[in-house]
Structure 1
Amino acid sequence: MRFVARLCLVPESCGRPRIQPVLEDEDRVLGGTEAVPGSWPWHAGIYTNQLYPAHICSGVLISERHVLTAVHCLTYV
């Protein structure tokens, strides 16, 4: 029950973009929009540079030095 009580203290603005997205006619994700750089400051892209630079996964910042992601994102890193 403590977890639920703490969750209720999160501000309404949490999880909403600081900068509104730009709508494009040709989006890569069905119904999606391109994110404006800096609009989701808690989102982290995870890249590899083994053969060539490539985006492999995403994560979320949980502190100044830690990113939370799924274990399958780090299988080949």
Structure 2
Amino acid sequence: MRMGNIPLVPYYRPGDKRIAQDLAELAADNQAFLLANHGPVVCGESLQEAANNMEELEETAKLIFYSR
């Protein structure tokens, strides 16, 4: 669970430029985000790192779900 807190980006209609603006601001400090009404977005310095981040996010979500 190395990802820390995952920021939630508010819902915007598809294509709204504010999605990109919000992600650009958050990307300096985060490698994973949740887009309200859409789902997760991850990034990394390589495709492998992004895939690892997605797997980490998924496994962390499973742990939280099953622990409740």
Which of the two has greater helix per residue?
Answer: 2
Flag the structure with more relative contact order, 1 or 2, with Cα contacts below 8 A and sequence separation at least 6: 2
TM-score bin (small chain): under 0.3
